[in-house]
Structure 1
Amino acid sequence: MSDHSANLPPAAAAYLEGRRLDEVECIISDLPGIARGKAVPASKFERQAYFHLPDSIFYQTITGEWGEAAGEEGFIERDMILKPDMSTATAAPWTADWTLQVIHDAYDRKERPIPFAPRNVLKRVCKLYEDQGWQPVVAPEMEFFIVARNLDPAQDIKPMMGRSGRPAAARQAYSMTAVDEFGPVIDDIYDFAEAQGFEIDGITQEGGAGQLEINLRHGDPVKLADEVFYFKRLIREAALRHDCFATFMAKPIADEPGSAMHIHHSVMDIETGRNIFSGPAGGETDAFFNFIGGLQTHLPAAVAVMAPYVNSYRRYVRDHAAPINLEWGRDNRTTGIRIPLSGPGARRVENRLAGMDCNPYLGIAASLACGYLGMMQELRPSRQFRGDAYEGEGDIPRVLGSALDLWEGATELHEVLGPEFARVYTIVKRAEYEEFLAVISPWEREHLLLNV
């Protein structure tokens, strides 16, 4: 018999203080980042050391169809063993009873990590850093839209109605008045986050109508990916309480900017605790430039993971707050790779390519993998870019099909992320792309029906 309740993190213990736990949601992220799992009575959870789910949850496309990724034995839906990571136990404060969520890790019957489980992919990359004596540190930024309820996919997505009774205004970046429009939703986001033990570094209004950004404190990649995974659900629940939707689509509204998950990276020396991007005198090191070189060299192939849907590529629009190339620059938001202002101890590299629609475990893993390859291969970046990078040519894929072509040939990246993950991801994404290509769009009916 397990004794899970003795291992609760402080926030979960505080949430339950003086209360009786009713239910535990045993969850794991699938490839899109959707929480899959089972809800069990608390008494049963206390007695179970693990539970089972079929491995086929990782073969599903976003529409619920299946990719033929089961391997040689065929589609037999073999059970995985899912074990709780009690350090992830956190409240589900929107539920009617007292409920905890716990993220689980997936293993096969020989106790080996399932290689295509997203959290395991990220752990694999972190282990490669650890083997070199490095500790990767990340800080994700989450952009998203709060929009009016949309019950008909044929209708355009519209901004939500604000507190003033007017639709949320666009192009009001950093406006406190605009933030106030969403006051009740933001209050619930803060309350839920506090109950779950998450520290928000700040909430700002972004450039789009109803677009907000939440910054998280830097830390361990797996812990931060867990938080983004949890936050997506938390934010959706907060919006639903106020008769609106939260969406993490990369480009939900045609004339508005898209939503990114910018990822800041630094790397610490495990032995000394120093940032390896800065030398003893505070200067920039070879490792710093190699990391940038790795992003420039390997990101084109990794885009298929960071921009995983056909909609993702609508975000990469010139002059629309998203990068179109892989230039790097200091404090320059037009480049795909930005070096923010900081002191030597906080020197970091920001990847601005990842969309908010990516799976946080996979997006962070792919970004760290590119930097890791850069440091291991001692890759040098191009010259620092000065000026407006939107004036240059785009050098990232413009559609998912092209991105998948690059991804399929990226054997070095596959070795870092895991060849079996790469195989399954490729098959599922190809199946999803085929599903999309089978749909006739309103644009085609409008312009081709009578004109060609």
Structure 2
Amino acid sequence: MSGAARTLVLFPDAHGIARGKLVNRDCTRAVRVGFSSGVFSKDVYGHPVLFPVLAKPFGAADIKVDVTDHDGRELEGFATGLLGASAIAIGAVTDPRGDPHPLDFRAHLGNLLERTTGLCETRIGAELEFYLIGDDDRVHLAPDGQAYAFGGIGLRQRCLSDMLDALDGAGIVWRDLSQENEHDQYEIALAHTDPLEQADRIFLARMICRTVAASHGLRCTFIAVEHKDRSPSNLHLHVSARFDGSDMNASSKRIASGMRHVLDEAFLTLSPTRNSRHAQNIASFRSGASDISDGGRFSALRRLEEDGTPRVELRTPTSDANPYLAILLVLAGMNTAAASDAFPEPRPLDFDFANSITAFEESRLARAALPDETVSLYASMKRHEAQKAAEFATFEAERGALLKVL
């Protein structure tokens, strides 16, 4: 398919999953594209969750995605042929009432950055982990399944190389690719950018990697726990803020304090599915408490320094986290934290899914960052997912449903 003058118009749904249409227009002028309202608010298993307030008549009204000439991202090389387009544009969603959609977390992140001085200068990097799943047994021939080994990279080199070429073609700068702790588990580290650009890159990278893998007869999945006996997949966020040298330590303390607020009040935004809660039972490089260390990999937060710039890594988010929502709450936490805040004693994280939904709904941090309607609707969607999850008799049954979406 030729990609000439064709734009892939995308929007992140409530889970940060890419949805959209291929339109026969370029990005040089504004476009408006219509979608079914139920597409936006499907649960994580792919079932529509239609809120009457957002669909008039119920289930029938459309949402609109508005794209401006500033939203386009030109595609080059391998990415053009892969996606059948010459450009990608991520738009803003209007609900059936004609208002900004309350579950458009990309728009909420942009609004927070616009109204808060200094947050745009925050730099965020990401390490995105995923599994490749195939129908063959080649993976069992790999020499090992340990971190930084090359057995998997060698066996999957064509697929992984195409992934990196496609990221290059979409302007997504990656720093390195590594094999992780298991056979066919990998991690792509994305270069540090401003917060909204980084969320966009994570969003696009997940879509691109899934598309490339499918072209090789493989499934690329960002399920948090692909197997109860294998390491979970995480989304590590590295955050640094501007400083003048004298306040280097204060900057790190403010970032870490903000992250701690998110762990305490909005863990749902970092570990957003029932599946992701199985991670607490798997031994891996992650912590079950809101602890912090200098350089240690077994803490929820770790302080680092790179090229003279201090940063804090949040290791808790799972790979199924909505990058817009996770980054939004981290920034909101930073915005409310003071550098003088004393870092409290670490507390165990509450991995109970129902408790996380209630904590998010009651969170002062969440309600300071998001409209009340957004908090209520998102909590309602997650309660719906908890009810659906209870219908799966086994872990494998739920995994099968998630593989179709994540």
What TM-score, normalized by structure 1, do the two folds share? 0.78
In the alignment, structure 1 residue 66 sits paired with structure 2 residue 19? no
Distance 1:168 1:312, change over 3 A: farther
**Structure 1 outlier segments of 4+, above 6 Å:** none
Percent sequence identity is 21
1:284 pairs with 238, 249, 264, which one?
249
Other structure's SS at 1:341 match: strand
Question: How far 1:168 moved relative to its partner?
Answer: 4.5
CA shift, 1:439, in A, is 2.4
Matches of residues 251-266 of structure 1 in structure 2 within 5 Å? 251-266=225-240
Q: Distance in 2 between matches of 1:443 and 1:210?
A: 19
1:52 aligned onto 2:34:
yes
Per-residue CA deviation, residues 107-160 of structure 1 (Å, 9 max, x unaligned), is: 469985433202112213323432x576221111101111224xxxxxxxxxx6
Q: Which aligned pairs between 1:106-185 and structure 2 lie closer than 5 A? A: 106-107=93-94, 113-130=100-117, 135-149=121-135, 161-162=137-138, 166-168=140-142, 171-185=145-159
Cα deviation 1:387-420 (Å, max 9, x = unaligned): xxxxxxx711223112112112113322213322
C-alpha change, 1:340 and 1:318, in structure 2 (3 Å) is: farther
Whether the 8 Å contact between 2:5 and 2:25 is mirrored in structure 1 is yes
Q: Distance in 1 between matches of 2:13 and 2:85?
A: 25
Structure 2 unaligned spans of 5+? 398-406
Give 1:215 shift: 0.6
Report the counterpart of residue 9 of structure 1 in structure 2: none
C-alpha contact 1:307 1:354 (8 A) present in aligned 2: yes
CA distance in 1, matches of 2:280, 2:47: 27
- On the 8 A contact 1:32/1:358 being kept in 2, the answer is yes
Shift of 1:90: 3.7
Using the alignment, how far apart are the partners of 2:97 and 2:389 within structure 1? 38
Could you tell me whether the CA contact under 8 Å between 2:270 and 2:318 is conserved in 1? yes
Q: CA deviation at 1:223?
A: 0.9
AA of the residue aligned to 2:343: P
What displacement does 1:47 show?
7.2
Q: Is the 8 A contact 2:236 2:315 kept in 1?
A: yes
- Structure 2 matches for 1:337-416, cutoff 5 A? 337-344=301-308, 346-375=309-338, 379-382=341-344, 395-416=348-369
* Structure 2 counterpart of 1:64, one-letter code: G
Q: 1:312 — aligned with what?
A: 276
User: What is the match of residue 175 of structure 2?
Assistant: 201
Query: Max radius of gyration: which structure?
Result: 1
Give the letter aligned to residue 265 of structure 1: V
- Structure 2 equivalent of residue 27 of structure 1: 10
| Superposition deviation, residue 236 in structure 1 | 1.2
Write the letter of the residue equivalent to 1:432: E
**Counterpart for residue 387 of structure 2:** 434
Instruction: Give the counterpart letter for 2:207 in structure 1.
Output: R
Q: Are 1:67 and 1:427, in contact at CA under 8 Å, matched by a contact in 2?
A: no
Aligned with 1:375: secondary structure?
A: coil
Query: Is the counterpart of residue 420 in structure 1 residue 373 in structure 2?
Result: yes
**TM-score, with structure 2 as normaliser:** 0.86
Amino acid at match of 1:30: D
SS state at 1:334 partner: coil
Residue 333 in structure 1 maps to residue 315 in structure 2:
no
Code of the aligned partner of 2:223:
M
Distance 1:420 1:136, change over 3 A: farther
Structure 1 residue 185, shift from structure 2 partner:
1.2
Q: Secondary structure at the match of 1:36?
A: strand
The answer for unaligned runs of 5 or more in structure 1 is 1-18, 150-159, 269-274, 386-393, 445-452
Secondary structure at the aligned position of 1:369 is classed as helix
Quote the residue 1:295 is aligned against. 259
* Pair 319,77 (structure 1): closer, same or farther in 2 beyond 3 Å: same
Aligned-residue CA RMSD in angstroms?
3.0
1:237 aligns with 2:200: no
Distance 1:217 1:100, change over 3 A: same
The corresponding residue for 2:401 is none
Kindly tell me: are residues 443 and 139 of structure 1, through their superposed partners in 2, closer, same or farther at Cα, counting changes over 3 Å?
closer
* Contact 2:3-2:81 at 8 Å conserved across structures: no
Please give the per-residue CA displacement for 1:157-193, whole angstroms capped at 9, x wherever unaligned: xxx644xx74446542111344222211111112212
User: In structure 2, what residue type is equivalent to 1:232?
Assistant: R
CA distance in 2, matches of 1:256, 1:223: 31
**C-alpha spacing 1:42/1:58, structure 2 compared with 1 (3 Å):** closer
* 1:238/1:168 CA distance change after superposition, 3 Å: farther
CA drift of 1:318 comes to 5.9
CA contact (8 A) 2:61 2:96 kept: no
